[in-house]
Amino acid sequence: MASIFGFRSRDPARDRQADIARFDRLAKLFEQIAAEIEAEKAGLESRYRKTATNAAFLVEAMENGSASERRSSEVGALTEQILNSERRIAALSRQNGMMKELRNSLDSVFDEGTAYDSAAADFTRPAGAGRA
């Protein structure tokens, strides 16, 4: 039978360092994912603008008679691409918002953890732990 006097707890400074490292990894992961989302969104928005411009010129050309009515299927395809792009851009915006919320939640958890720590004054925030 083990004695309760043999139990030793870990040094709180070591716990803080483990927490900082963990929160730092999470913060960096959230930032990396947010950057991926932003890069995808920027590329898609560029293609969206180009497609919308092409569709507008094609419709105008058809209305002016300088393009055949047979090209109307191209207008349909461009319209479908535009609608798909709008849906994806909206989804990426929601994902980016979620990443910001998760990032802010991480800050909140980190702040709560330091509130209970009597040595919080000499304790630094994780590298990526600024308010987003």
Q: Tell me the two tokens of residue 55.
A: 């569709």
User: Quick one: what percent of the chain has pLDDT higher than 90?
Assistant: 52
Residue 90 lies in a domain: yes
Residue 6 lies in a domain: no
Number of domains in the chain: 1
Residue 13 has pLDDT above 50, yes or no: yes
Residue 84 lies in a domain: yes
Residue 53 lies in a domain: yes
pLDDT at 55: 93
Higher-confidence position of 71 and 35: 35
Residue 39 has pLDDT above 70, yes or no: yes
pLDDT, tens digit, 9 for 90 and up, residues 50-93: 999 999 999 999 888 888 878 888 999 999 999 999 999 999 99
Residue 1 lies in a domain: no
Higher-confidence position of 20 and 80: 80
Residue 10 has pLDDT above 90, yes or no: no
Residue 122 lies in a domain: no
pLDDT at 73: 87
Q: What is the CATH number of the domain that holds 112?
A: 1.10.287
Average pLDDT on 41-51 reads: 97
Residue 44 lies in a domain: yes
How far is the CA of 116 from the CAs of 15, 22, 32, 105, 119, in angstroms? 13, 18, 30, 17, 9
**In which band, very low, low, confident or very high, does the pLDDT at 2 lie, cut at 50, 70 and 90?**
low
Residue 17 lies in a domain: yes
Residues ≥6 apart with Cβ < 8 Å to 69: 62
pLDDT, tens digit, 9 for 90 and up, residues 114-126: 665 544 444 455 5
Domain that holds residue 108: 12-117
